[in-house]
Amino acid sequence: MKPQSLDHHVRYHPVFHFFGAPLALITIIGSIVNLCSAIKNNDQIWLAVFILVTSFLLVVSFFLTRIYSNKVQDRVIRMEENFRHFTLTGKPLNPHLTMGQIIALRFSSDEEFVALSERAVNEGLSSKEIKQTIKNWRADEYRV
């Protein structure tokens, strides 16, 4: 695996991104086509509606599991970075840092972390700007 950097840090989960998400989209499209066909033929419309509703429920469940797992990872990252800041400075992270800023700050080395977190608050740096500012990239191999 290539070392992480600004240009190479976005990660994809192949089963989710390249298998599950396309199948979810195909399922919705197929159920809509099935409903249109049922309406055109005036045949088993209720079954087609049931299939469409069930497809939407499955797709919503599929994406919510991804969203919820990302939220948990965000909370863990915030806790880790708050602990890292406390370890380095004896103070917790500035509460004005957004979750996006904290997530971006996790890539900074300990040497630049404190100054960069202060700069992020004072200058309102976006997560992209924070990542572009980092000189010594600290890889995060665990986030999916």
pLDDT digits (tens, 9 = 90+) for 129-139: 999 999 988 87
Here the tokens at position 91 are: 């103070």
Mean pLDDT, all residues of the chain: 90
Dihedral sign for Cα 17, 99, 133, 114, please: negative
Task: Retrieve residue 18's tokens.
Answer: 């390249």
Percent of the chain with pLDDT over 90: 77
Least confident of 4-13, 63-72, 100-109, 116-125: 4-13
* Cα separation, 93 vs 98, whole angstroms: 11
Q: Is the pTM of this model over 0.85?
A: no
Distances (CA, A) of 9 to 5, 71, 77, 83, 104: 6, 19, 16, 23, 11
